[in-house]
Chain A
Amino acid sequence: MKKFLKFIAWPLLVLSVIVALFGAGWWWGATHTQAFAGMARGGGDGEFRRPAFDAGRQPFQPRPEGFEGRERGRGPSLLRGLGGVFGSLIKLSVIVVLVLLAQRGLTWFENWRAKRKTSPNPPTSGNSAPQSE
């Protein structure tokens, strides 16, 4: 019972609170900006009007292009879907490779700095001990 509380119930509660807080934040952001847009529209002179806010206030409108058109206008397709999955994999691979290269570069730089610190006067290659002929 104690283990259940510690490892299941308590984490779930904390995560639920975090998710609820995030959700409330998103919700507040969206509703607040809508209310703000409504106030701006009522202001009269209409100097600055953001199109996205105004679009959000209109309940009935023709289906827009872009996001909606991209996803809702067409049904599922294996070819397009696999293309999308392949695209995501390429994006992820590029990010992973870049980060790994950056990590390697940082490690190399740290090693180089550590070497410089440990040997303040490194012997130069041309000034070795004189050899007897």
Chain B
Amino acid sequence: MSASSKTNLFFDLLIFAAFLAIATPDLTGLPIHEWLGVAFLAALLTHLLLHWAWIVNVTVSFFKKLWHSSRLNYLVNLIFLVLMTGSLLSGLMISESVLAFLGISLPRNEIWQGLHRATSDAAVLALGLHLALHWKWIVSNFRRYAVQPVAALFQRERPAAGSIANIE
């Protein structure tokens, strides 16, 4: 599936906002934090599906060239995926609302809590790297699809002085 840059940008901004909300349970409270985590899993899968062509291309050509920047991207993304999977899974294992909704009751386990905390903190770092490696793409597309349309809107609303004089 190959989506347009516009779709990718707005979906990524949405995921980023969701990530910030999930990374701060104080903001939402624990039940919403847990359900947001479940929704985030679906969003993560969609994000991967939207970039599936890139994933396949780099996976195929990973060992062909000695070095290329996509390889670094790929490794960072893979680490990020591992950390997010670990964080979401361990979060599910210690959740109260989601498991209760599903009728599952698990004993409290410090290992899952430790894993959840460690992987969540590491995921923030991995997200920083992920953003930095895609910074050019983010800035150019944000300028193209968010800044320029808004700027054009303001320019259109302000008619030229000469045109008003001609109408009168």
Which residues of A line the B interface, CB within 8 A? Answer: 7-8, 11-12, 15, 18-19, 22-23, 26-27, 30, 33-34, 52-53, 55-56, 59, 61, 64, 67-68, 71-72, 74-78, 80-85, 88-89, 91-92, 94-96, 98-100, 103
The answer to whether the Cβ of B146 comes within 8 Å of any Cβ in the partner chain is no
- Which B residues, 26 to 81, have Cβ-Cβ distances below 8 Å to chain A? 26-30, 32-33, 45, 48-49, 52, 81
A81 touches B49 (CB 8 A): no
A99 touches B133 (CB 8 A): yes
Q: Give 22 pairs: A residue, B residue, CB < 8 Å, sorted on A.
A: A7-B1, A8-B49, A15-B49, A19-B85, A22-B86, A23-B89, A30-B93, A52-B114, A53-B111, A56-B109, A64-B110, A71-B25, A76-B32, A81-B24, A81-B28, A84-B23, A84-B26, A88-B20, A94-B128, A96-B132, A99-B128, A103-B132
- Where chain B touches its partner, the secondary structure class is helix
The answer to whether the Cβ of B98 comes within 8 Å of any Cβ in the partner chain is no
Q: Which A residues are in CB contact (< 8 Å) with B133?
A: 99
Which residues of B line the A interface, CB within 8 A? Answer: 1, 20-21, 23-30, 32-33, 45, 48-49, 52, 81-82, 85-86, 89-90, 93, 107-117, 124-125, 127-129, 131-133, 135
- Where chain A touches its partner, the secondary structure class is helix
Write the chain B residue with the least CB distance to A20: B85
A30 touches B112 (CB 8 A): yes
A100 touches B20 (CB 8 A): no
A67, B116: Cα distance in complex, Å: 10
Write the chain A residue with the least CB distance to B116: A67
Q: Nearest 7 A-B pairs (CB), nearest first?
A: A81-B27, A95-B128, A84-B24, A99-B132, A76-B29, A80-B26, A55-B110
Q: Which B residues are in CB contact (< 8 Å) with A18?
A: 81
Q: Which A residues are in CB contact (< 8 Å) with B93?
A: 30
A81 touches B132 (CB 8 A): no
Q: Which A residues are in CB contact (< 8 Å) with B110?
A: 52, 55-56, 64
Q: Which B residues are in CB contact (< 8 Å) with A55?
A: 110
A75 touches B29 (CB 8 A): yes
B89 touches A84 (CB 8 A): no
Q: Which A residues are in CB contact (< 8 Å) with B85?
A: 19, 22-23, 26
A8, B29: Cα distance in complex, Å: 34
Write the chain B residue with the least CB distance to A34: B111
A76 touches B52 (CB 8 A): no
B27 to chain A, nearest CB (A): 3
B1 touches A85 (CB 8 A): no
Write the chain A residue with the least CB distance to B17: A85
Q: Which B residues are in CB contact (< 8 Å) with A12?
A: 45, 49
Known contacts being A11-B49, A76-B28, A96-B128, is A85 close to B114, with CB within 8 Å?
no
